[in-house]
Amino acid sequence: MTYLAQLDTIISDKLTALAPITDKEAAFPRPVIDALSAAGLLGLVSSKEMGGMGLGLAEASQVVSKLAQTCPSTAMIVCMHYCAVAVLEQLGSESVRRDIAAGKHLTTLAFSELESRSHFWAPASTAKLDGNEVVLNARKSWITSAFHADSYVWSSKPLAAEGASSLWLIEAKTNGLKLAAPFDGMGMRGNASSPVTAEGVRIPAANALGEDGKGFDIMMGVVLPWFCVLNASCSVGTMEGSISRAIEHVSATKHQHLGTSLAELPTIRAYVARGRIKTDMANTLLSDTIAAIVSGRADTMLRVLEIKAAAAETALEVTDIAMRVCGGAAFRKEVGVERLFRDARAASVMAPTTDVLYDFIGKAVTGQPLF
Ligand SMILES: Cc1cc2nc3c(=O)[nH]c(=O)nc-3n(C[C@H](O)[C@H](O)[C@H](O)COP(=O)(O)OP(=O)(O)OC[C@H]3O[C@@H](n4cnc5c(N)ncnc54)[C@H](O)[C@@H]3O)c2cc1C
């Protein structure tokens, strides 16, 4: 069976039933993460040399988008895992890369902090060298899969070098890491995106990911393209899931006294058409962004910045349309649209947020430096 066929089986056999429970109970979707791991899908972007599938951003985008059609929480967990793996494949130890490739290790990004908030490129947290160890202190404001992942790709101020940040790999079970509060969000309720504090956390100095002070370059050069594309893939999947549920509802639901379905109302049809067009436009820009990255096109960075903002904002519009056309029925849980409406709201405030991206894109197209 191909990996996409395996993914479809996991979605139909496990994810479809689990998604509403994940949302209702704000529970981490462990059974599905275990199934993805057993199918090798957590090793999708790990190199073949390490035992992974050796696939890239295009395939990761398909996986995240497909998951998001049914459960955006699960899709975001996988999105953050692939982003962290992109860093570890370049800078991590062989043993962690082999564990990830074998599906034995879930990872994630721990960038956002209470002090610098969505400006993840400017951590306030500290790292101090003590012999062969580094001592970390931090107030991380959001870590998806907190204490469910096996490790965090973690940012701090540099030890001694010039530069805004350094990156580290931290095992989730390291002493001194504390869950500041369980996650109880309005959407993405299954992804355990909790605040985490680090007090005197000691890690081997060898867990540095890249040179001291070079964290910013890794964030911008490696993480940003992966995160913008996969976050957008989650938004596109969420749109697809909401518009397809809306189409199903308006096609099957009748005003009995008229003998016609909601889809036979021209107003409803026009809204559905707008939702379809917006979804297809976002998906087309997503494909073009991936094509730009793969071929190293000159407009790659502009596309990377554009796609996250475009998909996040369009997902707000499309899930709103899906709510509108399904009427009062969408207010309840059974149509399945309101969950996606709530989940869709996360992407625009995940850093870089849409408003920060508008500022970056505006600077880029008017020839001003981004920072
Ligand atoms: C579901 C979810 C999962 C997350 N998972 C992770 C994770 O795994 N790892 C991680 O590191 N982080 C994660 N985050 C955090 C995320 O990336 C952002 O850092 C966080 O959402 C920012 O919220 P804030 O309240 O701190 O924003 P603030 O920085 O307080 O921003 C508030 C508002 O001001 C706007 N704003 C800020 N600066 C500017 C500017 N320069 N120009 C214009 N407008 C500006 C913002 O767009 C926003 O609208 C997650 C967030 C969510 C919602």
User: pLDDT tens digits, residue range 282-291?
Assistant: 999 999 999 9
Query: What are the φ and ψ backbone dihedral angles of 254, each rounded to 5 degrees?
Result: -115, 150
Ligand 1 atom closest to Cα of 119?
Answer: 29
User: Which residues, listed in sequence order, are joined to residue 137 by a DSSP beta bridge?
Assistant: 126
CA distances from 264 to 148, 166, 260, 299, 323 (A): 47, 58, 6, 43, 17
Task: DSSP letter for 154, please.
Answer: E
Place of tokens 């999708």: 44
Q: Name the segment(s) of the chain with CATH classification 1.20.140.10.
A: 216-365
> Which CATH entry fits the domain spanning 109-211: 3.90.1640.10, 3.40.50.1100, 3.30.70.3280, 2.40.110.10?
2.40.110.10
Query: For atom 21 of ligand 1, which residue has the closest CA?
Result: 350
Residues 354 and 346: their CA atoms lie apart, in Å, by: 11
Residue 200 carries which side chain, given as an amino acid letter? G
Query: Which of 90, 88, 109, 208 minimizes the C-alpha distance to 160?
Result: 208
**CATH superfamily, with its number, for domain 216-365:** Butyryl-CoA Dehydrogenase, subunit A, domain 3 (1.20.140.10)
Contact 155, 170 (CB under 8 A): no
Task: DSSP letter for 110, please.
Answer: E
Q: What is the pLDDT of residue 211?
A: 98
Assess whether the C-beta atom of 223 lies below 6 angstroms from ligand 1: no
Query: Which of 30, 111, 118 minimizes the C-alpha distance to 73?
Result: 30
pLDDT, tens digit, for every residue of 200-242? 999 999 999 999 999 999 999 999 999 999 999 999 999 999 9
pLDDT above 90 (res 334): no
Q: How many residues in total does the chain contain? A: 371
Note if the pTM is more than 0.95. Answer: yes
269: which 2 tokens? 């049809």
Ligand 1 atom closest to Cα of 185?
Answer: 1
CATH number for the region 3-106 comes to 1.10.540.10
CA of 241 to the centre of ligand 1 (A): 25
Assess whether the C-beta atom of 341 lies below 6 angstroms from ligand 1: no
Q: Name the segment(s) of the chain with CATH classification 2.40.110.10.
A: 109-211
pLDDT above 90 (res 260): yes
pLDDT above 90 (res 72): yes
CA angle 80, 235, 52 (to 5 degrees): 40
Q: Name the segment(s) of the chain with CATH classification 1.10.540.10.
A: 3-106
Query: For atom 32 of ligand 1, which residue has the closest CA?
Result: 118
- Which pLDDT band, with edges at 50, 70 and 90, does 24 fall under? very high
Residues 247 and 2: their CA atoms lie apart, in Å, by: 29
First to last CA, the chain: 47
Assess whether the C-beta atom of 112 lies below 6 angstroms from ligand 1: yes
Place of tokens 């062969």: 132
Place of tokens 């939702």: 275
Contact 100, 84 (CB under 8 A): no
Angle between helices 57-70 and 72-91 (to 10 degrees): 160
User: Which residues, listed in sequence order, are joined to residue 156 by a DSSP beta bridge?
Assistant: 166
Residues 80 and 42: their CA atoms lie apart, in Å, by: 11
CA of 357 to the centre of ligand 1 (A): 12
Query: What are the φ and ψ backbone dihedral angles of 170, each rounded to 5 degrees?
Result: -120, 130
Assess whether the C-beta atom of 251 lies below 6 angstroms from ligand 1: no
Contact 184, 17 (CB under 8 A): no
CA of 118 to the centre of ligand 1 (A): 4
* Interval 143-147 mean pLDDT: 98
Query: Which of 359, 323, 343, 96 minimizes the C-alpha distance to 231?
Result: 343
Contact 176, 140 (CB under 8 A): no
Q: What is the pLDDT of residue 359?
A: 98
pLDDT above 90 (res 69): yes
Assess whether the C-beta atom of 78 lies below 6 angstroms from ligand 1: no
User: CB-side exposure of 339: number of CA atoms within 13 Å?
Assistant: 25
Strand order in the sheet with 151-156: 107-110, 151-156, 166-171
- Which pLDDT band, with edges at 50, 70 and 90, does 173 fall under? very high
pLDDT above 90 (res 58): yes
Place of tokens 């306030």: 124
Helices (H) and strands (E) in the chain, counts: 12, 9
